[in-house]
């Protein structure tokens, strides 16, 4: 039996939404409309184009600025909209200045600086399986859905969180790979403004590695949080290892937003959205948030607008307050807000609720992946053994929260987007509501998502766009020592390219480059590169490109 003091201890540490917003006293955050209201000089000074605005700025000593975008390349007009302005006045009243600037109507948003927190709660009991997958009464019909749609590697789910362990044995096969970037060469090969972003981006430390690092909330390391969410969304499935992810074949993009000693800041969150707007994943999963303070909700709304303008489906955890207080970004327009249920088919007691919550999904006692790239401190490890069912060795454990329900819905969205890639975030929200299960919960958390209905009833929401016209069935044998046959199916004739790439995204060998008929095909790779030299033992990817889309399968070469 777990000691009750441990339960109370963890609960106290990880459920502090009221402190989610952290004030910094000498700056404000602005979202500028196109064309104004400043002339921004290279020396970080600016000149107001409006006399009344100029008076407010002078009165509060706001005379310098800094773009929030931290990319290495040239800033786009979209990047230049998100600005921090600074003052050196000791008497600066940030709240008054924010209100006066907002009242001018010259900005799309004016906000006080903020940090946000992850939504994670302690575990209450141990379970031996993924009930959200297997339960016929409280689950979301994933096995039936997978019979119809297993997703596509070209459908990308971005996990905006504490980082994703890109080398995790149950995630590495489904990690998004930026084929336009050459790993570790210090060059922005694809010209997107982020150097060496092969697996995603670390917006917290502004570097190429989205892997998690120790991140403490109230004294306990919750750096596992993003990896746990990634596994729920789309752990590598049907690989005889670990767990099944809702998205099955969908790819995971890691976008880390925390710094070890700072947390999840407004700058990191802004850059995470700017990165996604540039790379255009199909879905973003956001298991974090906080209450609106100091204009944060309006600022977050502008970030959401930036993503949805690129056709990205935005999914967010509703929060763990157990009340109807709106949490952001979940309550933003254009976001699919997700509440949590339990194995008894009830609203999880911690789940936030209200008419702003769009859909419900399992979020209590959810077994998923945790980081394998670093070890916990002794106290954290002991607590997670007692509370979350970690066995002290394997990188999996239970966790509770709307944080877990959110990536589950994101994974379902990945399945739907694989079949209907043109569906917008608003259309997806309407579609999930239309196809969800009616359950009489004690509070309003929407219908329970039904994955099977979502992938088989695409007459609602957006019109169905033709599903991917090809399928990669894998390699056989795999692993292999001398040669493997890569099998794939085309639903229509056309020009295709089938190539082999290493785990860093570097080209190894072309297997097909030209026209093929519809039907089943296979091509052999003998483990050599384009020059005929034997490739080293390791993990490779066979990538099929057809009709502007691509899908990959993992190959393991033994020597």
Residues taking part in catalysis: 161, 225, 403
Asked whether the bond before 171 is cis by omega within 30 degrees of 0, the reply is no
What is the separation of C-alpha 422 from the centre of its chain, rounded to a whole number of angstroms?
19
- Both tokens of 234, joined, read 């789309």
Closest by Cα among 308, 266, 248 to 283: 308
Tokens 């690989």 locate to 239
- Both tokens of 139, joined, read 């689950």
Give the integer Cα–Cα distance in Å for 406 and 361: 8
Beta strands in 4-81 (DSSP E): 27-31, 38-40, 46-48, 62-67
Residue 124's CB: how many other CB atoms inside 10 A? 14
Axis crossing angle, helix 378-388 with helix 4-14, rounded to the nearest 10 = 110
Closest by Cα among 558, 552, 555 to 524: 555
Give the integer Cα–Cα distance in Å for 121 and 365: 10
Give the integer Cα–Cα distance in Å for 475 and 456: 28
Asked whether the bond before 114 is cis by omega within 30 degrees of 0, the reply is no
The torsion angles phi and psi of 234, rounded to 5 degrees, stand at: -165, 55
SS (H, E, C) 391-440: CCCCCEEEEECHHHHHHHHHHHHHHHHHHCCCCCHHHHHHHHHHHCECCC
Closest by Cα among 435, 440, 484 to 461: 435
Closest by Cα among 316, 361, 371, 363 to 171: 371
- Both tokens of 122, joined, read 């302690």
Tokens 């850059």 locate to 271
Tokens 């790979």 locate to 177
Task: Please check whether residue 363 is in contact with residue 405, taking contact to mean a CB–CB distance below 8 angstroms.
Answer: yes
């Amino acid at each position: 039996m777990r000691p009750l003091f441990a339960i109370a201890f963890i609960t106290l540490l990880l459920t502090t939404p009221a402190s989610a917003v952290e004030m910094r006293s000498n700056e404000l955050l602005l979202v500028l409309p196109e064309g104004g209201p400043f002339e921004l000089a290279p020396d970080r000074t600016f000149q107001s184009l409006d006399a009344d605005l100029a008076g407010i700025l002078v009165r509060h000593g706001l005379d310098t600025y800094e773009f929030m975008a931290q990319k290495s390349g040239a800033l786009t007009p979209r990047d230049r909209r998100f600005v921090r302005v600074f003052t050196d006045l000791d008497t600066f009243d940030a709240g008054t200045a924010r209100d006066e600037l907002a009242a001018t109507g010259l900005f799309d948003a004016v906000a006080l600086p903020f940090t946000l927190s992850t939504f994670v709660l302690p575990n209450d009991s141990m379970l031996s399986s993924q009930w959200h997958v297997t339960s016929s009464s409280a689950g979301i019909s994933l096995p039936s859905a997978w019979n119809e749609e297993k997703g596509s590697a070209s459908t990308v789910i971005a996990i905006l969180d504490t980082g994703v362990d890109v080398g995790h044995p149950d995630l590495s096969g489904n990690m998004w790979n930026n084929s336009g970037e050459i790993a570790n060469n210090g060059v922005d090969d694809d010209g997107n403004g982020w150097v060496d972003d092969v697996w995603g981006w670390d917006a917290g430390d502004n570097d190429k590695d989205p892997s998690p690092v120790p991140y403490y909330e109230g004294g306990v390391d919750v750096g596992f949080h993003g990896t746990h969410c990634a596994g729920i969304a789309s752990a590598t499935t049907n690989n005889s290892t670990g767990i099944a992810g809702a998205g099955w074949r969908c790819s995971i993009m890691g976008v880390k937003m925390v710094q070890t000693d700072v947390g999840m800041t407004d700058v990191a969150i802004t850059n995470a959205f700017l990165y996604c707007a540039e790379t255009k994943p199909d879905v973003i999963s956001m298991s974090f948030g906080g209450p609106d303070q100091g204009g944060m909700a309006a600022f977050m709304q502008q970030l959401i607008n930036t993503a949805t303008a690129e056709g990205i489906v935005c999914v967010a955890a509703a929060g763990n307050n157990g009340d109807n207080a709106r949490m952001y970004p979940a309550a933003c327009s254009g976001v699919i807000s997700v509440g949590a249920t339990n194995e008894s088919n009830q609203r999880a007691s911690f789940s936030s609720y209200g008419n702003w919550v769009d859909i419900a999904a399992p979020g209590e006692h959810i077994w998923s992946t945790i980081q394998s790239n670093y070890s916990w401190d002794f106290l954290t490890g002991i607590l997670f053994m007692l509370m979350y069912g970690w066995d002290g060795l394997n990188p999996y454990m239970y966790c509770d929260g709307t944080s877990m329900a959110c990536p589950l819905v994101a994974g379902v969205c990945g399945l739907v987007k694989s079949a209907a890639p043109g569906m917008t975030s608003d259309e997806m929200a309407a579609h999930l509501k239309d196809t969800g299960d009616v359950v009489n919960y004690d509070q309003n958390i929407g219908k329970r998502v039904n994955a099977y209905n979502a992938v088989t009833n695409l007459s609602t929401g957006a019109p169905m766009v033709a599903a991917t016209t090809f399928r990669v069935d894998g390699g056989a044998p795999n692993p292999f020592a001398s040669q493997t046959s890569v099998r794939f199916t085309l639903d229509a004739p056309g020009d295709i390219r089938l190539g082999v790439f290493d785990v860093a995204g570097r080209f190894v060998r072309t297997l097909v480059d030209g026209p093929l008929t519809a039907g089943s095909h296979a091509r052999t790779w003998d483990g050599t590169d384009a020059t005929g030299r034997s490739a080293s033992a390791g993990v490779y990817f066979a990538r099929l490109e057809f009709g502007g889309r691509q899908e990959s399968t993992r190959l393991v070469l033994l020597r």
